[in-house]
A and B are shown apart, each in its own frame.
Chain A
Amino acid sequence: MTIFRMEFHKIVSKKYVWIFAIVIATFYAITLSGSSSSSSRFYRKALQPVFDEVNAAAYDPAISSYIVEKQFNVTVEEIKPLLSPEIEKTIESYKGQTYQRMWEKVKDYVVNLVIRIDERKATIAKLEASPNTPLNRYLLNKYTNMPKIQANMTKWDSWIDTNKSVLPIVIAFVILLGTSGVFSDEYTSKMHGILLTCKKGRKEVFWAKLSASALFSAICALIFQLLNAIIAALYYGVPFTNTPLNSLTLFYQMPTTLSAMELYILEILGSVVGAVVLSFVTLCISSICHSNFLSFFISGIYFAIGFILSNALEANFEQGGYISRLLTLPGDVSTFSLMSLVNVLGNGKVFATANFAIPTVLLTIVVQAVVFVIAIALTFYFYNRREVIA
């Protein structure tokens, strides 16, 4: 326990890690501050009380068939008499331009929801008429079991989007800074040789270093997730209710049955687990390199490759963004994807062959578990090998 405490203290006592963390956190807060317009926040908040009425209107057969008949091209005046009086009562308290804009917003919410419901029905009909392949069966199962789509008024879009790319990079940067020197600093100071003269050798130190790094990474991920939640709550507001993921613009038409809250919680979990895996990969590289400079650079490249592959090959629904191909698979199973989860889990990505179709997120977990085990084994091997040579 004492060795573990010492190792953990060695990591957290590096002043520059915290200086970099503070600078990067400040920048993150500044960047996020300009990302939401005050008008959209105002309308969402003002229309929050009529959320159920808007959803009910889109699912009303009379209203939806009228909108479909008009080919989704309806005016406020046309739709107004069909809507619940509760909506009118809420909007009446606003005057002038705001009043008109409010009605436009309500109309847009209802029409967009009708479009989504209609597209979902069309997708199901298309899949039922398609050949009985594993991929089609998988997609049909997802679309038919999908929860009812709701109007996109909940702010979950912004909350989930924050975890998509910038936050995993920020977390990874601090973890790389903290853990890249764990073994290489020991080599530089010749401590690894001195430890051979000690009674317990280096076995306990090895496990203490591993667990201290894992704890540091997990704490880092949690601190930044907490910071992110505070900033998001300040800038976007707290979502007033849970909503199916399919209601969000970010996951338009994607085959996912999760709710926004489920994905957000899984994102936090993925972020912590991914952070631990990344720290172990960094430790592995650190156990090979004599310099923390080199281990930081190589670990950074390892993480950056996953980030670039995952983002460069991202596609929307029409481009088949829910299908993992051999080209996109390296990015989909990367440590970055585990830390983000928006791409693989949020988009409901699936890897399909002629015989089977499996959710890509399972592949991501399996591959990262393998990376985790290999990283520990290699670190152990390189550390002990050095011991024998010494």
Chain B
Amino acid sequence: MKRRSNFANLVTVELRALLLDKWTLMLMAAYTLFTSAIFFNESFRNSRVQLIGHNLFITVTNHYLPLFLILMVLVVISPVFAADKKDGVVDLVDTCRNGKVRWRLSKVAAALLYGIAIVLVGFLIAFLMSVLSRTPLNPDSIAFETNKPALMLTNAQFFVFSFFMIVFCTCFLVLFTLFISSRTSDLLIPLAGIAMFVGIEFAIFSFGRPYFLWNLNIFRLFVPWYLLFDSLPPFGPAIRTLIIILSVLIIFSVVLTFLTLHADRKLVKVTNVKKEESKI
């Protein structure tokens, strides 16, 4: 019981550090400012914002929120392991009561919770702006009805669907960032690596080629309204695309988590060998 509370305590401390990071606060403030400009400034909205599905809430959460989420993951999650390695904290962890495995696990759990929390806050801010500006959410009308989607969802159902897709994708990105961060002591490498990965994914998503990679793109989940429409075989119909993307990302996420938690295995082995040698 005590050990469990210790673990929860570790997660809480890590999560608080991530949520109160100055970059989280700054980027969230920028997102709030941007969202309020879209909801309250009509001229800005008319000239600069391309409305999706005739719904401002969908436009904000499906088109602009992902950008801020990516930036937050990039700058806040990148140093999670790398910074500790650089400062030599990793070597101290073995001397602590919780040990390296629990320490790593707590960081992964906190980072995943952080991913869920920022998506939730992003949705809440957009919802709050809708309510304050009296912009209708039209929860009962069918999302993208005029475009005849393959998956017919009401706006309310689509909001929930969007939330889970974006959460899922953010968590995958968090795990990928943690994996790179756990393998290096240079803070720049996870940041540049994830920036390059996101840039390549975005370019494939924008150009629409290669088609196979376009279908398995993370931006299909970050911009979930694309998932309502059929893709060409072998990825179509829409429900099959959804299952394929989610399955692939789940497999990758599990592998990345495993590799992140066992990042220092080599180091341990080397130490053991040295111990054996010294005994001899």
Instruction: Tell me the A residues contacting B by CB distance below 8 Å.
Output: 16, 20, 23-24, 27, 30-31, 34-35, 166, 169, 173, 176-177, 180-181, 291-293, 296-297, 300, 312
Contact = CB atoms under 8 A, between A and B. Distances in A.
Contacts of B116: none
A293 B188 contact: yes
Given A30-B210, A35-B207, A173 B199 contact: yes
Given A177-B192, A180-B188, 20 more contacts: A16-B188, A16-B189, A23-B196, A24-B196, A24-B200, A27-B200, A27-B203, A31-B204, A31-B209, A34-B210, A169-B199, A173-B192, A176-B192, A177-B188, A291-B187, A293-B79, A293-B187, A293-B191, A297-B191, A312-B48
Question: Chain B interface secondary structure, helix, strand, loop or mixed?
Answer: helix
Interface in B180-194: 186-189, 191-193
Contact of B192 (A30, A34, A296): A296
B78 interface: yes
Given A31-B203, A34-B209, A297-B75, A292 B196 contact: no
B33 to A, nearest CB: 15
A303 B196 CA distance: 15
Contacts, number: 50
A30 B75 CA distance: 29
A297 B48 CA distance: 26
Question: Chain A interface secondary structure, helix, strand, loop or mixed?
Answer: helix
9 contacts: A27-B200, A27-B203, A35-B207, A173-B199, A293-B79, A293-B187, A293-B188, A296-B192, A300-B195
Nearest to B209: A34
B55 to A, nearest CB: 22
B222 to A, nearest CB: 17
Contacts of B186: 16, 292
Interface residues of B, number: 21
B188 A296 contact: yes
Contacts of B48: 312
Contacts of A296: 188, 191-192
Top 10 closest pairs, chain A to chain B, by CB: A293-B187, A34-B209, A292-B188, A27-B200, A293-B188, A296-B188, A177-B192, A293-B191, A16-B189, A297-B75
A293 B78 contact: yes
Interface string B196-240: 100110011001011000000000000000000000000000000
Contacts of B210: 30, 34
A181 B192 CA distance: 13
Contacts of A181: 188
Nearest to B190: A293
Contacts of A31: 203-204, 207, 209
Nearest to A169: B199
A31 B214 CA distance: 11
